């Protein structure tokens, strides 16, 4: 699809959503913690685009909508940062067609961070 082409309603309905997972630690005790920047960023994105997190689905707070003509699925896993892989897995289960596409994708591993650094992006 070229830069000047626009998506039709059926394109949006049939397309797999973009999955955006914001990581953090659940609960008010951690709300202003540096590890919650993922929650803060996804909350700001949702607010900017008029999306609301409604309820809990598969242990994730979820918001769904259309942003700039593309379906999006926003997920905030209620797992702690130490279990962020579990949280991302929960988000993928909410969008099974997306999960299949990501299994075929290559992932890059960045190393060299300190003890407290996250090593995988």
**Whole-number Cα distances in Å, 12 to 17, 22, 48, 118:** 9, 23, 20, 34
CA–CA separation, 43 vs 47, rounded Å? 6
Of 35, 48, 49, 68, the active-site residue reads 35
The CA radius of gyration of the chain, in Å to the nearest whole number, is: 16
CA–CA separation, 37 vs 3, rounded Å? 32
Residue 35 annotated among the catalytic residues of the structure = yes
> Exposed, middle or buried by CB within 10 Å (0-12, 13-18, 19+), for 4?
exposed
Catalytic positions: 35
């Amino acid at each position: 699809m070229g830069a000047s082409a626009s998506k039709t309603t059926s394109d949006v309905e049939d397309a797999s959503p973009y999955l955006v997972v914001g990581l953090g630690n659940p609960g008010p005790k951690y709300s202003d913690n540096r590890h919650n920047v993922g929650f803060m960023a996804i909350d700001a994105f949702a607010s900017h685009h008029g999306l609301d997190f409604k309820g809990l689905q598969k242990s994730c707070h979820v918001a769904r909508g259309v942003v700039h003509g593309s379906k999006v699925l926003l997920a905030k896993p209620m797992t702690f940062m130490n279990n962020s892989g579990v949280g991302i897995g929960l988000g993928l289960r909410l969008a099974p067609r997306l999960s299949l596409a990501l299994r075929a994708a290559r992932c890059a591993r960045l190393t060299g961070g300190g003890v407290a650094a996250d090593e995988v992006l």
